[in-house]
Amino acid sequence: MKKIFYKISRILVFAMAVLLFAEGVSFTSYARVPIDTGKKGKLTITYRFKEDGKDSYRYFDGINVSIYKVASVSDDRFSFKLDPPYDSLTGIELDSITDNDTAAAKWEAVQKAVEPEAITNHEPTRTVTTSDGKAVFEGLDLGIYLVKSVVVKDIEEECTYVFSSFLVSVPQLDAETDEWIYDDLFYIAEAFAKCEKTNIEVVKYSLHKRWADSGGEIYRPSTITVKIKRDGIDYNIVTLSDSTGWSYSWKDEPGHLWTFEETYTSDVEYTVSVSDPALSEDGTIVVYTLTNSYSPETPPPPPDNPPPDNPPPDNPPPDNPPPGDNPPPGGFDLPEVLGAIRELPAVLGARRLPQTGQLWWPLPILVIAGIFFIVKGIRKNAKMSAK
């Protein structure tokens, strides 16, 4: 019996050592309870600005604030998923944003994808800031909200304050407990709008048409019509052609979202894309490029009879191999355990948003326990050998 116990203990010790020291092994655990979707949320956004070298903030009263719901609580109630039609505008799954090194870029990409659709085609929830610069929304459905940018002109100071748009989750996580913040009435979320002060009152903008249709130039329409929208509202309708250099320029205040809708008459259908805004070479003009892409025809299929100098193989693979010969599909990595983002990119406008994470506190305990059992096993082995 002692020998059996001894062998079992050695097996357990070996297994413990493998688990502790194998490369890439980590211990994870759920760090919080799921979201209660039967509850509502409360979002507070503060609009303030502090000059460099000053001790106090200026709080903005009477600002009109608009928010758009773009995502809801996911089915597992630990994360969020984009609502239709936003889910068709980007291939990024919100619960896949798990790497802090790439999170900022991915959240920025999500915002760029959903913002034009939200502002142009959907009605926001609105409120006005109070004297302490706070915009408060109560009774919100839980999810992720796009907070629209705000432009404030100060005539006395002859300057403009621009509050950037951002995404924020309702609810948010407590950094200490990894639990959703709740005040016995609402799930709570707070954010501070990022503000930039500029003395530039007017910005020059330019829209350029680019054709990516090599071989299909004959199909180009002689003119195209572009509807320019500012923050989702019709701003101007312009016609671009050879005579205009396929471009249009205008001036307006900074801090707005510009979108473009193109119409044309042609025998072919173009794929239309709009570039991100870029500065001109001299840095004085914000440039948008509207690209129309078209491939005249698809490449011809390969000939049925290959040339003599390139004979077919003796045993070509079947077009449809039998099911038994199909290799198994490749594996894929699932997100491990949902945790909390400690430091969020500025674009999110909040301290925390859900993401997966790892819990490492059990590791030192298991390491110590493993070493203890290894030493004990070695000593016991030595004693038995001596007998």
The three state secondary structure string of 28-80 is CCCCCCCCCCCCCEEEEEECEECCCCCCCCEECCCCEEEEEEEEEECCCCCCE
pLDDT of residue 217: 86
pLDDT of residue 305: 54
**CA distances to 119, 231, 254, 274, 301 from 234, in Å:** 12, 9, 17, 17, 46
Q: How many Å apart are CA 339 and CA 32, to the nearest integer?
A: 7
Structure tokens at 140: 């919100």
> Which stretch of DSSP H or E encloses residue 364?
helix 362-386
The predicted model scores a pTM of: 0.64
pLDDT of residue 177: 83
Look up residue 328 and give its DSSP letter.
P
Structure tokens at 357: 């994470």
Question: How do strand 223-230 and strand 233-241 relate by DSSP bridges?
Answer: antiparallel
Are 183 and 345 spatial neighbours (Cβ–Cβ below 8 Å)? no
Q: What is the pLDDT of residues 139-185, one digit of tens each?
A: 999 999 999 999 998 888 888 999 999 999 999 988 788 889 998 89
pLDDT of residue 316: 53
Q: How many CB atoms lie within 10 A of CB 111?
A: 20
Coil/strand/helix, residue 96? helix
Q: Can you list the residues of the chain whose pLDDT is less than 70? A: 1-31, 296-387
Topology (CATH level 3) of domain 41-190:
Immunoglobulin-like (2.60.40)
Q: What is the pLDDT of residues 309-324, one digit of tens each?
A: 555 555 555 554 444 4
Q: How many Å apart are CA 263 and CA 289, to the nearest integer?
A: 16
Start-end ranges of CATH 2.60.40.1140 in the chain? 203-293
Least Cα distance to 80 among 103, 96, 61 occurs for 96
Least Cα distance to 45 among 136, 117, 131 occurs for 136
**Which residue carries 């050879």 as its tokens?**
242
pLDDT of residue 311: 52
CATH class of 203-293: mainly beta
